[in-house]
Protein backbone atom coordinates (compact mmCIF):
# COMPACT_ATOMS: atom_id res chain seq x y z
CA UNK A 1 0.00 0.00 0.00
CA UNK A 2 1.16 3.53 -0.77
CA UNK A 3 0.12 6.43 1.44
CA UNK A 4 0.23 9.74 -0.42
CA UNK A 5 -0.15 12.89 1.60
CA UNK A 6 -1.51 15.67 -0.60
CA UNK A 7 -1.02 19.15 0.83
CA UNK A 8 -2.86 20.91 -1.99
CA UNK A 9 -4.35 20.56 -5.47
CA UNK A 10 -0.92 20.59 -7.06
CA UNK A 11 0.07 17.49 -5.08
CA UNK A 12 -3.13 15.76 -6.14
CA UNK A 13 -2.26 16.53 -9.76
CA UNK A 14 1.15 14.99 -9.18
CA UNK A 15 -0.49 11.88 -7.75
CA UNK A 16 -2.74 11.71 -10.81
CA UNK A 17 0.35 11.71 -13.03
CA UNK A 18 1.96 8.92 -11.04
CA UNK A 19 -1.16 6.78 -11.18
CA UNK A 20 -1.62 7.44 -14.91
CA UNK A 21 1.96 6.28 -15.59
CA UNK A 22 1.31 2.99 -13.77
CA UNK A 23 -1.88 2.02 -15.57
CA UNK A 24 -2.01 -0.73 -18.20
CA UNK A 25 -5.46 0.20 -19.44
CA UNK A 26 -7.86 -2.36 -17.99
CA UNK A 27 -7.87 -1.54 -14.29
CA UNK A 28 -10.82 -0.93 -12.03
CA UNK A 29 -10.02 1.96 -9.69
CA UNK A 30 -12.42 2.10 -6.75
CA UNK A 31 -12.60 5.10 -4.45
CA UNK A 32 -13.68 4.97 -0.84
CA UNK A 33 -14.19 8.31 0.86
CA UNK A 34 -16.80 10.90 1.71
CA UNK A 35 -18.37 13.89 0.02
CA UNK A 36 -15.88 16.45 -1.20
CA UNK A 37 -12.90 14.32 -0.30
CA UNK A 38 -11.35 14.67 -3.76
CA UNK A 39 -12.44 11.66 -5.82
CA UNK A 40 -13.53 13.64 -8.86
CA UNK A 41 -10.51 15.92 -8.52
CA UNK A 42 -8.07 12.99 -8.57
CA UNK A 43 -9.97 11.40 -11.47
CA UNK A 44 -9.54 14.64 -13.45
CA UNK A 45 -5.82 14.60 -12.67
CA UNK A 46 -5.47 10.97 -13.82
CA UNK A 47 -7.41 11.44 -17.06
CA UNK A 48 -5.68 14.72 -17.88
CA UNK A 49 -2.34 12.98 -17.37
CA UNK A 50 -3.47 10.24 -19.77
CA UNK A 51 -4.03 13.00 -22.32
CA UNK A 52 -7.57 14.07 -23.17
CA UNK A 53 -9.55 16.94 -24.62
CA UNK A 54 -12.60 15.78 -22.69
CA UNK A 55 -13.98 17.61 -19.69
CA UNK A 56 -13.82 15.46 -16.56
CA UNK A 57 -16.82 16.05 -14.30
CA UNK A 58 -19.02 14.22 -11.83
CA UNK A 59 -21.23 11.63 -13.54
CA UNK A 60 -24.93 11.72 -12.78
CA UNK A 61 -26.85 8.68 -11.58
CA UNK A 62 -26.81 5.71 -13.96
CA UNK A 63 -24.86 7.65 -16.55
CA UNK A 64 -21.25 6.88 -17.08
CA UNK A 65 -18.85 9.55 -18.29
CA UNK A 66 -16.60 8.25 -21.03
CA UNK A 67 -13.30 9.93 -21.78
CA UNK A 68 -11.07 9.30 -24.77
CA UNK A 69 -7.45 9.38 -23.74
CA UNK A 70 -4.46 7.04 -24.04
CA UNK A 71 -7.06 4.52 -22.83
CA UNK A 72 -10.84 4.54 -22.83
CA UNK A 73 -11.84 5.64 -19.35
CA UNK A 74 -15.30 4.99 -17.87
CA UNK A 75 -16.13 7.12 -14.85
CA UNK A 76 -18.99 6.06 -12.57
CA UNK A 77 -20.57 7.62 -9.50
CA UNK A 78 -22.38 4.92 -7.49
CA UNK A 79 -23.75 7.31 -4.85
CA UNK A 80 -27.36 6.36 -5.60
CA UNK A 81 -26.81 2.70 -6.44
CA UNK A 82 -28.60 0.59 -3.86
CA UNK A 83 -29.44 -2.73 -5.55
CA UNK A 84 -27.87 -5.19 -7.99
CA UNK A 85 -30.51 -4.10 -10.48
CA UNK A 86 -29.37 -0.50 -10.15
CA UNK A 87 -25.80 -1.63 -10.68
CA UNK A 88 -26.62 -3.68 -13.80
CA UNK A 89 -28.47 -0.72 -15.27
CA UNK A 90 -25.35 1.47 -15.03
CA UNK A 91 -23.56 -0.91 -17.45
CA UNK A 92 -20.69 -1.46 -15.01
CA UNK A 93 -20.29 -5.15 -15.89
CA UNK A 94 -20.32 -4.48 -19.63
CA UNK A 95 -17.36 -2.12 -19.34
CA UNK A 96 -15.09 -4.46 -17.35
CA UNK A 97 -11.87 -5.15 -19.27
CA UNK A 98 -12.73 -2.69 -22.04
CA UNK A 99 -10.81 0.20 -20.52
CA UNK A 100 -9.97 1.86 -17.23
CA UNK A 101 -13.02 1.96 -14.97
CA UNK A 102 -13.03 4.58 -12.23
CA UNK A 103 -15.71 4.32 -9.56
CA UNK A 104 -16.78 6.91 -7.00
CA UNK A 105 -18.81 5.69 -4.00
CA UNK A 106 -17.48 2.13 -4.29
CA UNK A 107 -18.81 1.57 -0.79
CA UNK A 108 -22.16 0.92 -2.49
CA UNK A 109 -20.90 -1.79 -4.86
CA UNK A 110 -18.12 -3.36 -2.82
CA UNK A 111 -19.39 -6.91 -3.37
CA UNK A 112 -19.26 -6.45 -7.14
CA UNK A 113 -15.64 -5.27 -7.36
CA UNK A 114 -13.19 -7.64 -9.10
CA UNK A 115 -10.43 -9.17 -6.92
CA UNK A 116 -7.67 -7.15 -8.55
CA UNK A 117 -9.39 -3.80 -8.06
CA UNK A 118 -7.15 -0.84 -7.26
CA UNK A 119 -8.52 0.67 -4.07
CA UNK A 120 -8.02 4.31 -3.19
CA UNK A 121 -9.23 5.48 0.19
CA UNK A 122 -9.42 9.25 0.65
CA UNK A 123 -9.56 11.01 3.99
CA UNK A 124 -9.36 14.63 5.02
CA UNK A 125 -6.09 15.94 6.43
CA UNK A 126 -5.55 18.55 9.13
CA UNK A 127 -5.90 21.60 6.92
CA UNK A 128 -8.63 22.59 4.45
CA UNK A 129 -6.49 21.64 1.46
CA UNK A 130 -4.93 18.47 2.83
CA UNK A 131 -6.02 14.98 1.74
CA UNK A 132 -4.59 11.54 2.47
CA UNK A 133 -4.82 9.01 -0.35
CA UNK A 134 -4.16 5.34 0.47
CA UNK A 135 -3.56 3.30 -2.67
CA UNK A 136 -3.77 -0.50 -2.66
CA UNK A 137 -3.26 -2.82 -5.61
CA UNK A 138 -1.14 -0.54 -7.80
CA UNK A 139 2.55 0.26 -7.58
CA UNK A 140 3.02 3.94 -8.26
Ligand X SMILES: Nc1ncnc2c1ncn2[C@@H]1O[C@H](COP(=O)(O)OP(=O)(O)OP(=O)(O)O)[C@@H](O)[C@H]1O
Site membership for ligand X, residue 6 (CB under 6 A): yes
- Report the chain's C-alpha Rg in angstroms: 14
Binders of ligand X in range 68-127 (CB under 6 A): 104
Site membership for ligand X, residue 131 (CB under 6 A): yes
Site membership for ligand X, residue 5 (CB under 6 A): no
Closest distance between ligand X and the C-beta of residue 45, in Å?
A: 8
How many Å apart are CA 44 and CA 56, to the nearest integer?
5
Site membership for Mg ion, residue 106 (CB under 5 A): no
List all residues 6 or more positions away from 95 whose beta carbon is below 8 Å from its beta carbon: 64, 74, 101
User: 3-class DSSP state for residue 56?
Assistant: coil
Q: Binding residues for ligand X, per CB under 6 A? A: 6, 8-9, 11-12, 35-41, 58, 104, 129, 131
Amino acid sequence: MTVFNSKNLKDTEELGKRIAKSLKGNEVIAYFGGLGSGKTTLTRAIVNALGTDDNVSSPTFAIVNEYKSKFSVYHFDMYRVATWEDLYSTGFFDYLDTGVIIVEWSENIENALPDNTVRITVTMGDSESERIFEIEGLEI
